[in-house]
Structure 1
Amino acid sequence: MMDNDINILWKEIVQDLSTVSALWQLFVCGLILAVSGLLNWHLGKQIEAGRVNTVYKLLLGGIERLFFPLVAFLLLVIARYALHDVMHVGLLKLAARMLLAMVIIRSLVYVLRYVFSPSAWLHSFERVIAWTVWVIVALHLSGFLDPALQILEDVRFSVGKQKLNLLLLIQGGLTIVITMLAALWLSRMLELRLMASTNINGNWRVIMVKLVRMVAIVLALLMSMAAVGIDVTMLSVFGGALGVGLGFGLQKIASNYVSGFIILMDKSLHMGDMLSIRNHYGTVTELRSRYMILRKQDGTEVIIPNETMITDVVINHTSAAHKAKVPILVRITYESNLDQAMQILNEVGRTHERTLNDPTAVDVIIKAFADTGVDLQLSVWVAEPEEGTAKLQSELYHAIWQRFKAENIEISVYHRDPRVIAATNAVAADA
């Protein structure tokens, strides 16, 4: 049915080539494309300049990629029905079909961005994919697809003992791409299910997600190669070469991947743990196959290879119950009431909102008798240490300062001996 429609349409177009009708149709098509392009350019400028309110900006920003072909298609349909009784409109019909195909293809490719989200590669190649599919559909709608396929099939060459042609290579590439997209979509669905499960340990969820994606990609590659007639046994040679490469040139990369799986399986680290690694201190925000991301308290992120966490000493400040001890150091003078100062520290620690409701959550000890005073340490156990402790320490110090002032307890400061100061000044004056 489609072939008959195309044949009739092309017969009408060929007949119009010798008449003024073809020129009028070309003029109408060019005018509509120019008007649609100007409207699309104006819309883009309005969105970039921020002269569109938030609601319309979200709406128009979503259809910006569809605006040009959609407007041109609607105008062509209007022109087609308006000129139908005056002249032949074969060219307008063909152009309308092409633009409708472009609208549908761009919509589908745009939806894929959310199906495979987050997918930076799909965002980068979105236009390439859309134009490639549109060219194929346009050739089919115009009736040139079969001749084009025959031309590609006639381009033949040999790779070893296997006879190939250009059409087979293109079909193989498309098969691999489609199979990989399907595999990534299925793995994405499984990943969402696994990550949403609360019955599985967090580390095991990460391991299962990575294994699912790896298995899906390998199976998709094998299935696509078998579908296009490529012997999969040739991968054994590639596998051997890859093993040699991992053994020599990729030792560090392989070591980091293996270390990542070891860390996830032995449950030594978890998301949200507070760690000290070398001179870095922060919260674990991501556990990847090759590295870990540690967010420091100043907001910067440190990428640490997994091998480092296996070979170096790592201090985990977070217990299995996700609680941590926050120390507060204070030095008071010898003239101050020591027992009263320790009692105040205990009360300040227990009254803070983040302190655990536990009799052993607060502890006050004497650290040392220093030259200028007595060193005391208040230790407070808090939950969710990944939320940070800087603000907590500031609030505790402020509360201690207020209570000490109210109770006439003096915080020790370094005082220089007046005789030393006078001697220093005299030496300076003689010089």
Structure 2
Amino acid sequence: MDPQTDPAHAIALLQDLFTNARAWAEFYFNMLLRPWIRYQVVIALVLFALAWGAARLARPRLHDWMRAREGWPRWRMRVLVIIHRRLRMIFFVSLMWLAVLVMREITWPSRSYLLAIFANLAAAWLFVVFATRLIDNPLLRSTVRYGAWIWVTLSILGLTEDSQRLLESMAITLGEMRLTAWLLVQALVILTVTIALARFIARTTANRIRRNEDISPSMQVLAVKFLQVLLYGAAFFIGLNMVGVDLTGLAVLSGAIGVGLGFGLQKVVSNLVSGIIILLDKSIKPGDVISLGETFGWINALGARYVSVVTRDGREYLVPNEDLITGQLVNWSHSSDFVRLDIFFGTSYDDDPHAVRRLAIEAATGVKRVLSHPKTPVCHIVGFGDSSVDYILRFWISDPTGGLTNIRGDVYLALWDAFKANDISIPFPQREVRVLDDRADAAETGGILQP
């Protein structure tokens, strides 16, 4: 058995680490009995109280000053917010290093040894706080922050080598690969750094792609998705390679897993491939107004598995990509933003149809969203009904995202006002009911009463 994988060896290293930690604790406890060590602890506590008081006085003034800085870039305001929240630590680190420098000038270096440790720890923790604020993901930021704090603390206290030996002793063997706790820690740190770097590059590049007006919206989405997959995949495999993990076995394992999952994830793969086809053929893009069955709305976002469609009533439908490929889809703004709408109405036979057509066109043209050029409204007679002369009014709009029902309602109101102002009547069906007397009915039917 490999001595490094022997559990007894790990226990012995743990005992050595415990012994060293105990010796370190006894050493510093004995140092606390010395007058100058106690003075340094008291000085640190006094400086912490002064930092707390200074931060309490400075926070309101800094807050008021920040509120007066209108028009500043967002990143500057974020830095000021971080400084506002960490004023106490900033004052404490400044006072501690000032005290260390003064004591090193007026007395022996050993009499400021403990203060230097406190100052290094506080400064390192403050630096970690500011550095991790660059990470947007809360979980990733917390993981990096606490991991960095632990590593910095061990480095300042001189316990890194003992901790590393302990983590290397905690290992399992998988074939020819020896997996240690130290290797897992390294992998976690390197993967975190590489993925954070890939995330930063992906977001920066994605913003530039979205600002490029020469690229269509669908191609922008495709380019951003492809870039994210490429960067995150490269970060993952590069991180594992830097740690020393053999990627050959991982490739074989991933292939076997892919074959097994292919049968159970057919719908997921189908939606993924359908999403890529949608982006490539540019059939739909963000902002298009579509109708799919009873769902009518505009496309909010294109995802890898579904398309987000927002309706006029605020509902958001997640339509699978496969349904958009296999089903009949109406894209109201695919090749052109022009949309024609038809409304039907009728007027009395006593009204002049030429005047009715002219008033209908003028009423539709007066509505704000209705186009008057290059596509003008038209009105035609479509039939002579039982109670009215029937017309169809056709008009065009160029902003279907603004809604269709509301523009129809506006045109109907304009027609109503125009007809009222010009004495054009809108008839309704009328029926005449006659009640006949029984005798008269019998005389008309030859004396035979009808049941």
Alignment TM-score, normalising by the size of structure 2: 0.77
1:344 is aligned with what amino acid? L
The residue correspondences of 1:262-411 to structure 2 (distance < 5 A) are 262-411=277-426
Give the aligned partner of residue 239 of structure 1: 254
Question: Is the CA contact (8 Å cut-off) linking 2:339 and 2:400 kept in structure 1?
Answer: yes
**Please, which moves more after superposition, 163-172 or 407-416?**
407-416
**Please, which moves more after superposition, 128-137 or 287-296?**
128-137
2:167 is aligned with what amino acid? L
What secondary structure does 1:336 align onto? coil
Work out the CA distance in 2 between the residues paired with 1:41 and 1:252: 58
Give the aligned partner of residue 134 of structure 2: 111
The residue correspondences of 1:249-264 to structure 2 (distance < 5 A) are 249-264=264-279
The counterpart of 1:206, out of the listed 190, 204, 221, is: 221
Q: CA deviation at 1:399?
A: 2.3
1:194 is aligned with what amino acid? I
- 1:155–1:356 Cα change, 3 Å: same
1:184 is aligned with what amino acid? R
Q: CA deviation at 1:138?
A: 2.3
Give the aligned partner of residue 228 of structure 1: 243
2:87 is aligned with what amino acid? F
- 1:409–1:226 Cα change, 3 Å: same
Q: CA deviation at 1:408?
A: 0.5
Question: Is the CA contact (8 Å cut-off) linking 1:285 and 1:295 kept in structure 2?
Answer: yes
Render the CA deviation track for 1:218-270: whole Å, top value 9, x for unaligned.
Answer: 22222222222222111333332333244221111111111111111112112
Q: Is 1:100 aligned with 2:123?
A: yes
Q: CA deviation at 1:415?
A: 5.7
Structure 2's unaligned 5+ residue stretches are 1-24, 71-76, 436-451
Question: Is the CA contact (8 Å cut-off) linking 1:13 and 1:22 kept in structure 2?
Answer: no
- 1:325–1:73 Cα change, 3 Å: same
What secondary structure does 1:297 align onto? coil
Q: Is 1:136 aligned with 2:151?
A: yes
Q: CA deviation at 1:172?
A: 2.0
Work out the CA distance in 1 between the residues paired with 2:54 and 2:403: 51
1:71 is aligned with what amino acid? F
Work out the CA distance in 2 between the residues paired with 1:56 and 1:25: 41
1:25 is aligned with what amino acid? Q
Question: Is the CA contact (8 Å cut-off) linking 1:293 and 1:304 kept in structure 2?
Answer: yes
Question: Is the CA contact (8 Å cut-off) linking 1:73 and 1:100 kept in structure 2?
Answer: yes
Render the CA deviation track for 1:104-129: whole Å, top value 9, x for unaligned.
Answer: 2111211232xxxxxxxx12332232
**Please, which moves more after superposition, 395-404 or 282-291?**
395-404
Work out the CA distance in 2 between the residues paired with 1:267 and 1:303: 19
2:199 is aligned with what amino acid? L
2:115 is aligned with what amino acid? L
- 1:97–1:414 Cα change, 3 Å: farther
What secondary structure does 1:125 align onto? helix
Q: CA deviation at 1:94?
A: 1.5
- 1:200–1:56 Cα change, 3 Å: closer
2:292 is aligned with what amino acid? I
**Please, which moves more after superposition, 61-70 or 158-167?**
61-70
1:230 is aligned with what amino acid? V
Render the CA deviation track for 1:294-325: whole Å, top value 9, x for unaligned.
Answer: 11011221111111112222122224122212
Work out the CA distance in 1 between the residues paired with 2:266 and 2:303: 18
- 1:412–1:246 Cα change, 3 Å: farther
Render the CA deviation track for 1:387-421: whole Å, top value 9, x for unaligned.
Answer: 3334433432332222111100123346676879x
> How many equivalent residue pairs?
399
Work out the CA distance in 2 between the residues paired with 1:155 and 1:144: 17
- 1:37–1:132 Cα change, 3 Å: farther
Give the aligned partner of residue 195 of structure 1: 210
2:93 is aligned with what amino acid? F
Render the CA deviation track for 1:140-194: whole Å, top value 9, x for unaligned.
Answer: 2332223322332233432222223222221122222222222222222322222
Q: Is 1:166 aligned with 2:181?
A: yes
- 1:19–1:252 Cα change, 3 Å: same
Question: Is the CA contact (8 Å cut-off) linking 1:13 and 1:90 kept in structure 2?
Answer: no
Render the CA deviation track for 1:81-103: whole Å, top value 9, x for unaligned.
Answer: 67775893322222122121122
**Please, which moves more after superposition, 52-61 or 351-360?**
52-61
Question: Is the CA contact (8 Å cut-off) linking 1:274 and 1:317 kept in structure 2?
Answer: yes
Give the aligned partner of residue 72 of structure 1: 92
1:261 is aligned with what amino acid? I
Q: Is 1:175 aligned with 2:190?
A: yes
Render the CA deviation track for 1:19-74: whole Å, top value 9, x for unaligned.
Answer: 13323433444465577679989999x9xxx9998458967644355334323323
Work out the CA distance in 2 between the residues paired with 1:32 and 1:413: 90
- 1:402–1:244 Cα change, 3 Å: same
Work out the CA distance in 1 between the residues paired with 2:83 and 2:428: 67
Question: Is the CA contact (8 Å cut-off) linking 1:272 and 1:285 kept in structure 2?
Answer: yes
- 1:255–1:64 Cα change, 3 Å: farther
